């Protein structure tokens, strides 16, 4: 049942859901984080389910079950430690997407209120001076790019480390 709900969330356009949730809750950092959480959980649900199914078929988990280990022990001792590396890699690779989504929402005026230093809002406020001071909207957009790039590089590095261990 949970996977069918996950499929439903995966089919819906995630950016539009985020915009609708923030518009319904009102602009602000809290509603923006709720919006990101609303449509980001299905991806992690799929990762956890796939890893648990793969780990549950391994011999050491079967041996623990046959030895009479309680479900809680099998879960916390054998399954969860195997799921954490995949979740860590997925989370670091998703940082770039979250940075881009948060800056897009703040660019549209759906982020935190004006005095907060959000990169998308800085870019949007400085678009008026694009012809006279081109660097004002460029530098916040460049920081968004650098954050996303650095997060992807870190995610790739963590994935390589996890693969070699």
Please, which residues have CB within 8 angstroms of residue 76's CB and are 6 or more apart in sequence?
Answer: none
The confidence score (pLDDT) of residue 122 equals 82
Within 8 A by CB and 6+ apart from 114, the residues are 121
Please determine, for residue 16, whether its predicted confidence score (pLDDT) is greater than 80.
yes
Instruction: Tell me which CATH code domain 2-164 carries.
Output: 1.10.3720.10
Tokens 């989504």 map to which residue?
101
pLDDT in tens, 99-132: 888 888 888 887 777 777 788 888 888 888 878 8
Q: Is the pTM of this model over 0.85?
A: no
Q: Parse the chain into domains and list their residue ranges.
A: 2-164
pLDDT tens-place string over residues 130-147: 788 888 888 888 888 898
CA angle 155, 19, 140 (to 5 degrees): 55
Tokens at 40, concatenated: 């980001």
């Amino acid at each position: 049942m949970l996977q069918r709900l996950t499929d439903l969330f995966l089919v819906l356009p995630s950016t539009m859901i985020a915009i609708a949730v923030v518009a319904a809750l009102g602009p602000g950092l809290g509603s923006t984080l709720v919006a990101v959480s609303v449509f980001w959980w299905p991806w992690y649900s799929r990762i956890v389910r796939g890893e648990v199914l793969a780990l549950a078929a391994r011999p050491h988990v079967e041996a623990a079950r046959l030895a009479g280990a309680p479900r809680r022990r099998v879960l916390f001792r054998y399954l969860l430690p195997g799921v954490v590396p995949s979740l860590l890699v997925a989370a670091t690779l998703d940082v770039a997407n979250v940075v881009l989504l948060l800056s897009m929402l703040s660019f549209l005026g759906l982020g935190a209120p004006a005095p907060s230093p959000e990169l998308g809002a800085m870019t949007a406020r400085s678009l008026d001076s694009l012809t006279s001071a081109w660097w004002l909207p460029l530098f916040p957009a460049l920081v968004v790019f650098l954050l996303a790039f650095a997060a992807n590089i870190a995610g790739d590095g963590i994935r390589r480390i996890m693969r070699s261990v």
